[in-house]
């Protein structure tokens, strides 16, 4: 048609391009040749032109062309050429109100009122000239420089008049638009007047304010019927922000009866002018947006969105794909925003600018506001998808549902980790990866992998060798026996230089695979990273918070980047499991030599050396190194390291307790942390709290032999004999025979002061474990103490020498010296020969001068107590001064106790300082060995002539269990002397029954004592006989 039109109008106009079309015409941009201006050329189709009277049409157009008003687009010319009917009007730069509503929906109230008034003003002028528009709608309202101008005035009337007797509907055309048509227009009322324009304007105003017209329908007839029969929904419901007065004006325009509407446009204008004070401030007019500004805003908003997305992923634990999805949406949105900006600027510039090569629907629909809302909707959809995903995870729905939510596992469940099946060329890789996986998995706050030593203990109960390989089948057996629901079984496979690592969570009962994860390490240097990813994927499937998982440091950072060091560490752990501590220590030394930053190996080394009574300097150096490297440990290992350092090195029990409590906040069922907390309470002197804490530890991990042993010892210490008997019976039912279990029998006898039975057991066990160096050392030490207390001094002296030799052979000269020094004590205390005792001590110290030992190997506390007991005050005071500067062999946790106790012992050597000695003993009373302080205080009160106070503390000592027999030379030599003295004091008080009791205990204890001590035994028996023979009052 464009070519045909150009040929017909060649003399007057040069048609440039088509702009679009309406219901009755096609619209072209043309250049008026005579005046050199751009105009809009509207052309009616030939079939319509054929049905019209051109003369009548032109007469009516001339009437409309007389309208001159700022808000009316005037008609310039009308005519026909080559059977084509057309008219022209000025080209108006800007967009139509229809385009604006399509892009923004509802308009700001103030702007809508302004446009409402401007159209009403145009109608008022036209109506005064007798021109009725009859087709007011957003398409016929243009926005030129942000003001409304109305087009096509008089065209409908001109068409109607030109049609004469021929209805235009016969040509397929309709006069008016149903959505905006007044009821009288819809019913073809012949008396339609200017008030129909006010109704149509009301519909337009309603749409500007509500975002949609008041009536819609699937067909034109349905819409017309709604106009005639239905009341529009109140504007206040569609948009509460619309002022009531404005809503009333719009609804009055929409009255069904013309008589109920405003009668003239001037009346409507007056009503709108009265609204001015009640309206919000108008929004700024639309303006052009430079592309650079759009890109700048997009960059800023995109950065903010990505920052929020990253924060949500990190802080709220959203899935890993959430952030990449946000990046993708922004990447997709960028070209959309750029295109929307370009289209926006072309609309504002007008139709004269060259069009963009985009589909028409995009050109009409894509706006800046629409692009922004599209972005909002896209990210809202991302939020909905993410929320759905997280909800399904939490509720256990579908493949993303967690095992915790589905009920297959419960929070705090324990898991058995099987040895990774090793199908690679490196035989040591399997154990190393297994240990690394255990470390990484132990960071879980939901489930708890059982420790390797726990697995070995269960194997012993199953009567399997400690060296048994824990494959998936064995792991399931262990889990079933221990009531554990699931096991983790892994596998390593070689694929060229790459190593395939897989792990699956398997039901212990049914063997069902509950979850599986696989990763590939490109080479051996990437193994730990792959193990880390496998572990975290399984933890995610179990149901652990993604935030919690991401908070964990990478595995290589909390273990070692050296695979060789990790191999040594895993071998050391296996050696510890089978009680081969010497080999374990050697392997750990190799591990830290390979990687000096391997914090976990340093901690394990320090703990193993300390627990085995090794060199204090070595243990403290290792723990100090681990403490300094604690940022390279998992949270659990870090807190255990802090606890060990503060307790064993720094001697700060409160800080150690704080570290353990922090650990238990995250892992409330960590048996080792609970056990260690009990140890801290024990060393702080709170035996009752320690017993309760040890009980918590064995509930958390029923196979924890150390926790059971500590519980037993604390019950013995508190004198809870029945509870201790039940505990020992339970331990024997759970733990296979071995030196550790047998030693508990010995300690049980010693704590109950059944020294004869203890001696028999010790001798039997020395023979049984003669080839076990560690057991023989401990048992020989216990034998020496038992023989000493029983008065078998010659045998005790030989046992002390043997024990000292065994410690010396293990490279522990300080412990050997402590045992040698104790040989002097019974000479002074039992035989009463202080000169000979001092000579023996001098002999020992000449043979092994304490100053030749390294500072941390010097048994200063033990030497102070021995010097005090043999009466060597000068030596005791000199050693005390040294002890104030150098803790010697004393462990950090016991250091405060030992300094108070040794100070009391030295002060007690002088009668004039006995009160100060008692004060020091009172401070020591709240420490690891309260009953040791009690018997010392009793002796001090006795020497002060306060027998009642003395008996009070003797009774406290006698009521406690003698459970502290650990460490070289640790035993209470005062026991027989205390029994005898209590008999004397009760005899003096006239409490015959108690005197008989304690004389009897003494006589029984020294029944087999050396001949040199028998006179004291005969004296006790004589007193006992006299008390029994005395008549009762």
Please give the positions annotated as active site: 135
Closest CA to 848 of 857, 861, 835: 857
Distance CA 414, CA 479 (A): 9
> Tokens 């110290």 — which residue?
845
C-beta neighbour count of 942 within 10 angstroms:
21
Give the containing element (helix H, strand E) for 455.
Answer: helix 452-461
Buried/exposed 353-362: b ≥16 CB within 10 Å, e otherwise:
eeeeeeeeee
> Tokens 């519980």 — which residue?
711
Closest CA to 255 of 191, 202, 179, 208: 202
Long-range contact list for 212-216, CB < 8 A, 24+ apart?
212/105, 212/238, 213/179, 213/180, 214/254, 215/179, 216/179
Pairing, β 486-495 against β 414-417: parallel
Closest CA to 87 of 39, 125, 52: 39
C-beta neighbour count of 229 within 10 angstroms:
10
675 Cβ partners below 8 Å, 6+ apart? 693, 694, 697, 704, 706, 707, 710
Long-range contact list for 1017-1025, CB < 8 A, 24+ apart?
1020/980, 1020/983, 1023/983, 1023/987, 1023/995, 1023/999, 1024/983, 1024/996, 1024/999, 1024/1000
Alpha helices by DSSP H, listed for 180-254, are 183-186, 195-210, 220-229, 235-238, 244-253
52 Cβ partners below 8 Å, 6+ apart? 44, 85, 159, 162, 163
Say whether 72 sits in a helix, a strand or coil: strand
Cβ contact 205:250 at 8 Å: yes
C-beta neighbour count of 653 within 10 angstroms:
22
Cβ contact 969:869 at 8 Å: no
- Residues composing the chain: 1033
Q: Identify the bridge partners of residue 148 per DSSP, sorted by sequence position.
A: 143
Distance CA 849, CA 501 (A): 58
Give the containing element (helix H, strand E) for 90.
Answer: strand 84-90
Closest CA to 765 of 740, 784, 748: 740
The distance in angstroms from the start CA to the end CA of the chain is: 144
Distance CA 965, CA 957 (A): 15
**Helix 930-943 with 892-907: angle, nearest 10 deg:** 10
């Amino acid at each position: 048609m464009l070519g045909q039109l150009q040929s017909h109008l060649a003399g007057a106009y040069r048609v440039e391009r088509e702009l679009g079309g309406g219901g009755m015409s096609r619209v072209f941009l043309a250049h008026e040749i005579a005046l050199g201006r751009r105009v809009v050329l509207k052309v009616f189709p030939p079939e319509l032109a054929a049905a019209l009277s051109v003369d009548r049409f032109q007469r009516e157009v001339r009437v409309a062309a007389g309208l001159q008003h700022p808000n009316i687009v005037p008609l310039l010319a009308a005519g026909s050429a080559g059977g084509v009917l057309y008219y022209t009007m000025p080209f108006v730069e800007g967009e139509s109100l229809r385009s604006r509503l399509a892009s923004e929906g509802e308009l700001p109230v103030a702007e809508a009122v302004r446009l409402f008034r401007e159209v009403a003003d145009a109608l008022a002028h036209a109506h005064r000239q007798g021109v009725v528009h009859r087709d007011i709608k957003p398409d016929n309202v243009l926005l030129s420089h942000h003001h409304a101008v109305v087009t096509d005035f008089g065209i409908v009337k001109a068409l109607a008049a030109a049609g004469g007797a021929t209805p235009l509907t016969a040509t397929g055309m309709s006069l008016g638009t149903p959505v905006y048509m007044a009821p009288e227009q819809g019913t073809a009322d012949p008396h339609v007047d200017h008030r129909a324009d006010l109704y149509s304007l009301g519909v337009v105003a309603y749409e500007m304010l509500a975002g949609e017209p008041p009536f819609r329908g699937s067909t034109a007839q349905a819409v017309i019927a709604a106009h005639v029969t239905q009341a529009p929904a109140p504007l206040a419901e569609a948009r509460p922000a619309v002022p009531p007065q404005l809503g009333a004006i719009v609804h009055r325009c929409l009255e069904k009866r013309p008589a109920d509407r405003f009668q003239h446009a001037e009346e409507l204008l007056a009503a709108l002018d009265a609204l001015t004070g009640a309206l919000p401030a108008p929004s700024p007019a639309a303006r052009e947006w430079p592309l650079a500004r759009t890109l700048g805003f997009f960059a800023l908003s995109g950065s903010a969105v990505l920052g929020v997305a990253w924060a949500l992923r990190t802080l709220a634990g959203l899935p890993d794909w959430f952030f990449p999805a946000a990046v993708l949406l922004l990447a997709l949105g960028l070209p959309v925003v750029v295109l929307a900006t370009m289209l926006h600027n072309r609309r504002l510039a007008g139709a004269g600018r060259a069009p963009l090569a985009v589909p028409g629907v995009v050109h009409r629909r894509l706006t800046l506001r629409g692009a922004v809302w599209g972005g909002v909707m896209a990210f809202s959809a991302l939020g909905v998808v993410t929320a759905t995903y997280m909800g399904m995870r939490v509720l256990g729905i579908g493949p993303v549902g967690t095992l915790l939510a589905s009920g297959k596992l419960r929070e705090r469940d324990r898991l058995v980790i099987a040895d990774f099946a090793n199908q690679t060329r490196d035989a040591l890789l399997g154990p190393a990866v297994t240990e690394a996986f255990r470390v990484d998995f132990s960071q879980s706050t939901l489930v708890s992998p059982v420790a390797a030593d726990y697995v070995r203990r269960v194997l012993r109960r199953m009567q399997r060798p400690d060296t048994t390989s824990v494959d998936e089948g064995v792991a399931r057996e262990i889990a079933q026996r221990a009531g554990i629901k699931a096991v983790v079984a892994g596998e390593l496979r070689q694929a060229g230089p790459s190593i395939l690592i897989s792990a699956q969570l398997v039901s212990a009962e049914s063997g069902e695979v509950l979850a599986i994860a696989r990763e590939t390490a490109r080479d051996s240097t990437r193994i730990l990273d792959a193990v880390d990813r496998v572990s975290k994927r399984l933890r995610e499937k179990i149901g652990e918070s993604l935030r919690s998982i991401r908070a964990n440091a990478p595995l290589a950072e909390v273990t070692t980047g050296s695979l060789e060091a990790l191999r040594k560490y895993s071998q050391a752990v296996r050696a510890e499991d089978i009680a081969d501590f010497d080999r374990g220590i050697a392997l750990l030394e190799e591990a830290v030599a390979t990687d000096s930053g391997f914090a976990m190996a340093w901690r394990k080394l320090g703990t193993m050396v300390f627990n085995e009574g090794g060199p204090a300097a070595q243990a403290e150096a290792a723990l100090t190194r681990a403490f300094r490297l604690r940022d390279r440990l998992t949270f659990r290992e870090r807190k255990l390291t802090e606890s060990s350092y503060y307790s064993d090195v720094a001697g700060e029990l409160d800080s150690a307790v704080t570290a353990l409590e922090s650990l238990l906040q995250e892992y409330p069922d960590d048996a080792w942390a609970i056990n260690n907390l009990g140890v801290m309470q024990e060393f702080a002197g709170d035996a009752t709290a320690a017993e309760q804490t040890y009980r918590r530890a064995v509930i958390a991990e029923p196979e924890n032999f150390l926790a059971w042993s500590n519980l037993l010892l604390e019950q013995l210490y508190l004198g809870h004999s029945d509870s201790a008997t039940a505990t020992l019976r339970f331990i024997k039912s759970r733990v296979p025979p071995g030196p550790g279990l047998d030693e508990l029998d010995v300690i049980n006898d010693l704590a109950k002061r059944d020294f004869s039975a203890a001696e028999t057991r010790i001798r039997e066990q020395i023979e049984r474990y003669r080839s076990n160096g560690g057991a023989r050392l401990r048992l020989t030490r216990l034998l020496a103490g038992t023989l000493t207390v029983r008065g078998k001094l010659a045998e005790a002296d030989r046992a002390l020498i043997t024990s000292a030799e065994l410690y010396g052979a293990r490279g522990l000269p300080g412990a050997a010296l402590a045992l040698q020094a104790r040989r002097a004590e019974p000479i002074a205390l039992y035989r009463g020969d202080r000169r000979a005792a001092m000579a023996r001590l001098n002999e020992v110290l000449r043979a092994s001068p304490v100053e030749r030992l390294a500072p941390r190997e010097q048994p200063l506390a033990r030497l102070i107590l021995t010097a005090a007991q043999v009466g060597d005050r000068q030596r005791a005071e000199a050693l005390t001064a040294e002890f104030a500067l150098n803790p010697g062999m004393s462990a950090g946790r016991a250091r405060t106790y030992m300094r108070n106790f040794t100070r009391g012992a030295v002060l007690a050597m002088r009668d004039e300082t006995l009160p100060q000695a008692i004060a020091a003993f009172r401070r020591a009373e709240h420490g690891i060995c309260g009953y040791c302080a009690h018997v010392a205080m009793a002796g001090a009160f006795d020497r002060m002539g306060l027998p009642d106070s003395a008996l009070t503390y003797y009774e406290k000592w006698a009521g406690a269990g003698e459970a502290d027999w650990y460490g070289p030379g640790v035993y209470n030599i005062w026991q027989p002397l205390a029994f005898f003295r209590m008999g004397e004091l009760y005899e003096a008080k006239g409490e015959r029954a108690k005197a008989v009791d304690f004389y009897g205990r003494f006589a029984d204890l020294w029944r087999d004592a050396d001949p040199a001590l028998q006179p004291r035994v005969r004296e006790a028996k004589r007193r006992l006989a006299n008390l029994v023979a005395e008549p009762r009052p």
